[in-house]
Amino acid sequence: MDVQRVAVVATGVIGASWATVFLARGLDVVAADPAPGADAALRRAVETQWPAMEAMGLAPGASRGRLRFAASPEEAVADAQFVQENGPERLALKRDLFRRLDEAAPAGAILATSSSTITASEIQDACARHPERVVLGHPFNPPHLIPLVEVAGGRGTSAEAVGRAMDFYRALGKHPIQLRREVRGHVANRLQAALWQEAFHLVATGVASVEDVDAAIAHGPGLRWALLGPFLNLHLSGGTGGIGELFAKPLWQATEEMWRDLGTVSVDAELGRRVADGVAEELATHGGRERVVARRDAALLALLRLKAEGAPR
């Protein structure tokens, strides 16, 4: 899909990061957001994120000067070839917004939503003109650094639209995956949710502190997951016979016993305070939020470079 003109609708944390990606790949970007001061906030965000794009390598023609802010979503999408929507996770709002985008965007433009939990099927029937062009294009935060994009069509989405979206994200240097079936939360967020549930349960039952739960992932399996993912890691854990022989071993039976022992938890006010206090203590240990974010992003860039040079995934 040869896209040169992209519209970014809603420019909060995710939308601003998407705008940075598109500009860094040499595209023209028209953005819209009704929030007061959104234009200036977007430009500050792009300015802040641009050095990371320079470190990763800019495409020919990449320029922050190719960003324009429009007075309305309709104006933003009027000449767009691809639309990336990033509005609040509220179904009624998204349905009304997509109705307006569908009316205003050229017939050939793809309409993609960054929604974390709402599916394409839930919003596309609000589009009277071309519901077949509505797709899920869910990034992982922050989109200007993390390659993953989850792509899915709704009940009325054409295979062509899904294919064009996959091609577009690949051309950006992203790693899109296609969901074969819509599901609440898609793939990566559901995997995260499962881990978070047990993380909160371990803190709630006094097994470990907030900081130690974080350390257990950051200094343990998280290092391997960044390279291989759960199934390949499991295969390598199975010895010479790999995953095919692992399921017959006592270690796997112990794993299934742990599944049955995993906790369920609801974060009430008391647990919420405990975890928030634990995170505050952890941040203080590491020098505060800004320092943690800066170190995280620098490490992500280094890891991405290593992966590009031949890491397994």
Q: Helices marked H in the chain — which ranges?
A: 13-24, 38-56, 73-77, 91-104, 121-124, 159-171, 188-204, 210-218, 221-237, 243-246, 250-261, 269-285, 289-308
**How would you classify the pairing of strands 67-69 and 28-32?**
parallel
Confidence grade of residue 282 (pLDDT, cut at 50, 70, 90): very high
Q: Which fold has domain 5-178?
A: Rossmann fold (3.40.50)
Same topology, domains 5-178 and 189-308? Answer is no
* Mean per-residue pLDDT, 204-221: 96
Delimit the domains of the chain by residue range: 5-178, 189-308
pLDDT digits (tens, 9 = 90+) for 222-267: 999 988 889 998 898 877 788 888 888 888 889 899 999 999 999 9
CATH no. of 189-308 = 1.10.1040.10
Residues 6+ apart with CB under 8 A from 238: 244, 245, 246, 249
Residue 310 predicted with pLDDT over 80: no
pLDDT digits (tens, 9 = 90+) for 96-145: 999 999 999 999 999 999 999 999 999 999 999 999 999 999 999 999 99
